[in-house]
């Protein structure tokens, strides 16, 4: 990770940049740059909003470097500090190797860490996968600042891991490869991981997951990652992420236009892997389990058909109305598996429905479920940390839409309330365990770069939200286990 935190200023490397952080009126500036910045503000060449950047060339030839200023308003929030860091990253010319940022004493060390996080995550990855982010050094170290900076580094690396996994094309990331990468990511930080193969899935009775996978020549996997251990007074939390490595739609095949983006249908899985890795690196005193059902949804001679009836792990039968509604099928078995662990909370993330984008646009993830405490926490944390979620209701009427005629359930309930009926389908598979469903179809990837944390391609949405939530759970006093658990 190319983020550093230092107490004293270092010389600016050739081909680098040195910037100061100032308020909207130029307060906090020192040296010769102050006069130039104040003049630029007076001439309105430099704005006074958070994230405004002014770069001034210095030197010539091989000794050339940049000097400048980054505007951060007086009572900036964490979201504004991250935005400022991202705007700085996007304003810098390509080819810079190092950036030195002199932090203002008017702003806290925590904001410096958030600014660094925004800088690290605020640009799209290179086309060839090579990380070209300049080294960022922030001057103004304190013990608390160093801790905040170390935490920001962990979060940034975990989000980047999720983005990398989400962006991998189907020919480079099969279900087996996704499982291998997830296990490697956990073991590299002292966590645990295993992958259940097709034989094990059949033994568990995961007919819904296997039905989706049978059209592909690539075998499915159920990835199980773990951080910590289940001990008395320490809750078990299960995170479930949809891992469709490529989604053609199956027999109910998708239109050709835009189908290449279906490599992103594993972004829920990517977020869970990133969050588990971060939890392990931060050594959170929790037992956290990540479950990723990994499949490829393809048409073929063995593919399941509309009208087929499959039996899920918990015994419920499902009529397949549309093979392109495959995510809920694999989640049904993954959630049933999660219930066996007797968790205090289950949270699942899935690029489940296009209806989520129609309902909420690309600003929010849809949130539904039965875990009122977690839903309230995620809504607050999402707004605070830049990954907003919006709750949609569950109800008897929408649940009826998912009832089958030749089976217990059907996997599609019609056009109305698509995001809600998708969650209603999942609800019977969690029993009485407190459960939250995040439909991230609208925010998991974006080609517009409209938000600082939404680069072109996979966004890594959900990693930071989950980690902040897990940190709050870890900080709670001793948890009483529910009766019967």
- The residue from 102, 328, 362, 410 that is catalytic is 328
Question: Which residues make Cβ contacts (< 8 Å) with residue 213, sequence separation at least 6?
Answer: 175, 198, 219, 220, 295, 296
* Neighbour count for residue 466 (Cβ, 10 Å): 28
Closest CA relative to residue 459, chosen from 476, 472, 438, 441: 441
Is 328 catalytic? The answer is: yes
Helix (H, G, I), strand (E, B) or coil at 279: helix
Say if residues 223 and 243 touch (Cβ distance below 8 Å): yes
In sequence order, the β-bridge partners of residue 435 are 346
- The residue from 146, 254, 311, 427 that is catalytic is 254
Secondary structure percentages of the chain, helix, strand, coil, to 5: 35, 20, 40
Is 254 catalytic? The answer is: yes
What region, left, alpha or beta, does residue 322 occupy, with left being phi > 0 and alpha being psi -120 to 50 degrees? beta
Complete edge-to-edge strand list for the sheet that includes strand 309-311: 309-311, 317-319, 409-410
Closest CA relative to residue 318, chosen from 397, 426, 197: 426
Question: What residue ranges in 8-89 does DSSP mark as E strands?
Answer: 17-22, 53-58, 65-71
Angle at CA 467, nearest 5°, toward 350 and 470? 100
Specify the DSSP class assigned to residue 126: P
- Tell me the catalytic residues: 254, 328
């Amino acid at each position: 990770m190319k983020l550093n935190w230092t107490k004293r200023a270092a010389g600016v490397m050739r081909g680098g940049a040195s910037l100061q952080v100032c308020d909207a009126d130029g307060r906090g500036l020192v040296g010769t740059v102050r006069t130039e910045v104040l003049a630029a503000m007076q001439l309105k060449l430099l704005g006074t909003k958070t994230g405004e950047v002014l770069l001034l060339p210095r030197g010539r030839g091989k000794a050339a470097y940049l000097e400048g200023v980054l505007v951060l308003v007086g009572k900036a929030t964490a979201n504004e500090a991250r935005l400022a860091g991202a705007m700085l990253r996007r304003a810098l010319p390509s080819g810079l190797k190092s950036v030195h940022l002199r932090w203002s004493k008017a702003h806290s060390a925590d904001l410096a860490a958030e600014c660094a996080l925004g800088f690290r995550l605020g640009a799209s990855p290179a086309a060839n996968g090579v990380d070209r982010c300049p080294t960022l050094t922030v001057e103004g170290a304190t013990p608390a600042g160093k801790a905040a900076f170390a935490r920001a580094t962990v979060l940034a690396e975990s989000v980047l891991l999720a983005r990398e996994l989400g962006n991998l094309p189907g020919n480079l990331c099969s279900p087996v490869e996704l499982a291998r990468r997830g296990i490697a990511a956990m073991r590299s930080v002292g966590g645990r991981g295993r992958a259940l193969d097709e034989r094990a899935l059949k033994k568990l009775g995961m007919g819904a997951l296997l039905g989706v996978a049978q059209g592909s020549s690539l075998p499915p996997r159920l990835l199980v990652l773990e951080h910590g251990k289940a001990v008395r007074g320490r809750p078990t939390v299960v995170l479930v992420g949809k891992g469709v490595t490529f989604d053609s739609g199956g027999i109910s095949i998708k239109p050709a236009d835009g189908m290449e983006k279906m490599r992103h249908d594993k972004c829920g899985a990517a977020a869970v892997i990133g969050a588990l890795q971060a939890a392990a690196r931060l050594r959170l005193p929790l037992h956290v389990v990540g479950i990723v059902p990994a499949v490829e949804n393809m048409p073929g001679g063995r593919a399941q058909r509309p009208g087929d009836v499959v039996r899920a792990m918990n015994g419920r039968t499902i009529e397949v109305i549309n093979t392109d509604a495959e995510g809920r099928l694999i989640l049904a078995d993954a959630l049933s598996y999660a219930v066996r662990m007797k968790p205090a909370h289950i949270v699942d993330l899935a690029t489940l429905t296009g209806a989520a984008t129609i309902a909420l646009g690309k600003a929010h993830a849809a949130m539904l479920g039965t875990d009122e405490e977690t839903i309230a926490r995620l809504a607050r944390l999402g707004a605070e940390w830049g990954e907003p979620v919006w709750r949609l209701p569950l109800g008897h009427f929408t649940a009826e839409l998912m009832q089958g005629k030749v089976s217990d359930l059907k996997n599609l309930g019609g056009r109305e309330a698509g995001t809600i009926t998708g969650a209603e389908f999942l609800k019977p598979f969690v029993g009485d365990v407190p459960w939250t469903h995040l439909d991230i179809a609208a925010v998991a990837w974006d080609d517009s770069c409209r938000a600082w944390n939404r680069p072109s391609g996979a966004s890594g949405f959900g990693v930071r939200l989950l980690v902040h939530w897990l940190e709050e759970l870890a900080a709670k006093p001793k948890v009483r286990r529910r009766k019967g658990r």
